[in-house]
Chain A
Amino acid sequence: MKVALFVPCYIDQFFPQVAKATLHLLEKLGCTVEYPSNQTCCGQPMANAGYEYLAEGCADIFRQCFDRYEYIVSPSGSCVLHVKDHVMPRSNESDGPAVMELSEFLTDVMEITSLDASCPYRVGLHNGCHAIRGLGLSSMSEVPGNRFSKPGSLLRMVNGLELVALDREDECCGFGGTFSVFEETVSVRMGNDRIDDHIRHGAQYITGTDMSCLMHLEGLLRRRKCPVRVVHLAEILNDEIR
């Protein structure tokens, strides 16, 4: 299967290992992965700050890079949601490419049922809010009904990995793009409260679908000199955290 790899700007610049893990994992699972090298950013940082009109250039570049593909896969729920809502909205399946977050693609398109990976640690899953409530990667605690988690199910396929239960399974970490600086105090408090939840349940690693949340949590963990590490879901699924 041929897919285009969308690497959000901050992953490209700060967390290249996450993009590499995504690339290698998709290839390992039999995909032909193309990386359109002109890609920059989906435009979300400007749009969420109220400057949607400044994001139009980014959106044009995005469409030029990705228009011709059937599947676009990315290791970021938040950026994928922005593309779906504002850059490449589609009303039906024949209406341009399907933009998918990695765990969503692995679950719904690749229909993965087993993985050759191990990670002998206690791991807490921090789902990004856009991944949960925007993309529907897992059930929401607000809404009654069947409980499920696509990233959670993938993690359960990893040998030796113990997924820890949390007191608040889908509370926001407080990153929120520019919220993290304009509302610095509340953002930091929210992040520390999330970290405390993971620590209370003995997590050694915090993983998730969104490196932006994890970047925020990592900054807090390092400031606290806490040994808990953050790692992107792709790195675990690609058998890199052994």
Chain B
Amino acid sequence: MVFGMKEGTPDSPLDTLRWYEIPEGVMLQFRLAGPVVRACAWAIDALLRSVIYIVLAVVLSLFGGLGGGVMLIGLFLIEWFYPVVFELHNGATPGKRAMGILVIQENGTPVTPSASVIRNLLRSADFLPFLYAVGLIAMLSNRGFQRLGDLAAGTLVVYRDQIKERVTPSNAPPLKPPLNLSEDEQLVLLSFAERGGELSEERRQELANLISQQTGLEGAEAVAAMTAYANWILKGR
């Protein structure tokens, strides 16, 4: 999630976030997909591909030598170009889509035809010597979780951004906080008001009690006070 400027700095060393400055002058943030989620996506695709092979084999076996020829061409196309077709269509194979991830260029634009072909041809090098061992080592030794094909093609696999509901602030009357708050402290309060709904009442109270020394309030009253302060920051008087 996006937090203030200071937290998510573009050079924070230990993070799976990747930052890219777009021509409009703002920083885009991508959440990189790691080896496990990508392996799951690959497994789903492998399953789907075997279903396609079986269906093809059953249908084409009715057509003798002609069917056999078509089958072999189909095998070839699916083996090498199945990911390319889906990546160019909407950025993700069905497996990746199911796992909520997609392929993009390092600059955040959709994957280009050349890049998609390169990353999928080099799949055969990443697969060596068995089950993507080379690819896994490559992924673990760079910051972008990129296998060799991604490195050469300049592509990233990232999580698809969820479209979120807009949060409506509570109707509690705004209340001026008892002391002057720094920007970071204000953000903590706003964050508490916006995300509090995801927590249990007990946890909310526990968090609100952390500043009872300053507010002199405990439990439910402290929670209400925090919300009121947040509303003051949001709306003013």
Are A and B co-members of a single complex? no
Give the interface of A toward B (CB within 8 A): none
Give the interface of B toward A (CB within 8 A): none
